[in-house]
Amino acid sequence: MAEAGWVRVAATADVAEGQVLGVRVGERDVAIYHLPGGDYCASDNICTHEFALLSDGWLEDGCIECPLHAGRFDVRTGKGQGAPIDKDLDVFEVKIEGGDLLVKLPG
């Protein structure tokens, strides 16, 4: 039985290594990152600065760069990497089950 809070968001094959995928889960936009080396991470997909989808940005050196004003967040911690970002991003736990990616979303 699935554990509470865990939601299947994509197949592992949907996110190529080095890429980011935006998915809609209920009311929430989630970004799934496949880091070079194989790890997956997940965060809110909406920039904390203004409205932009981070999945339209660039994943580089463990950070996602916002397509609108080039703000950057560490995708493992959600930490903003300086101006214009003054609020960190929510990040979510990810696990793999078979070929599926599951993300643990808060309530």
Judged by the rule CB under 6 A, the positions of this chain that interact with ligand FES are 47, 49-50, 52, 66, 68-69, 71, 84
Tell me the torsion sign for CA atoms 39, 14, 103, 33: positive
What separation in angstroms does the CA of 63 have from each of 1, 5, 19, 85, 97?
A: 34, 25, 11, 13, 25
CA 30 to chain CA centroid, nearest Å = 6
Nearer to ligand FES, 14 or 56 (CB): 56
Nearer to ligand FES, 69 or 95 (CB): 69
In the complex, the smallest distance separating the C-beta of residue 30 from ligand FES, rounded to whole angstroms, is 16
In the complex, the smallest distance separating the C-beta of residue 100 from ligand FES, rounded to whole angstroms, is 30
Nearer to ligand FES, 85 or 102 (CB): 85
Name the β-bridge partners of 28. Answer: 25
